[in-house]
Amino acid sequence: MIVFDRLWNTMHKRGVSTYKLREDCGIDSKTVRRLKANDNIETKTLSKLCAALDCKIEDIMEYVPDSDT
């Protein structure tokens, strides 16, 4: 499973709120909800997030094995 816990930490470190993501970076509120729920996200959204936060992909997401496997 891909989780976005690192995204929230990176945003906090850079002083970026979800409001700023929505208003200044073109990330809509539905996408923010999907990120919070660790749902599927398009690669173009990941690219926008990395550009907006000036970070690498590993700064916003990580793979965590499912506990049932």
CATH number at residue 27: 1.10.260.40
For residue 14, is it within any domain?
Answer: yes
Predicted TM-score of the model (pTM): 0.87
For residue 68, is it within any domain?
Answer: no
Compute the distance between CA of residue 52 and CA of residue 40 in angstroms, rounded to an integer. 19
Q: Are 6 and 55 in contact (CB under 8 A)?
A: no
Q: Are 39 and 45 in contact (CB under 8 A)?
A: no
Q: Is the pLDDT of residue 36 over 80?
A: yes
* Range of the structural domain that residue 33 is part of: 2-63
How many domains, the chain?
Answer: 1
* Cβ neighbours for 20, distance < 8 A, ≥ 6 positions apart: none
Q: What is the pLDDT of residue 34?
A: 96
For residue 69, is it within any domain?
Answer: no
The rounded mean pLDDT for the chain is 93
State the DSSP code for 3. Answer: E
For residue 56, is it within any domain?
Answer: yes
Q: What is the pLDDT of residue 69?
A: 54
Query: Interior CA angle at 61 toward 46 and 42, to 5°?
Result: 30
For residue 46, is it within any domain?
Answer: yes
Q: What is the pLDDT of residue 57?
A: 97
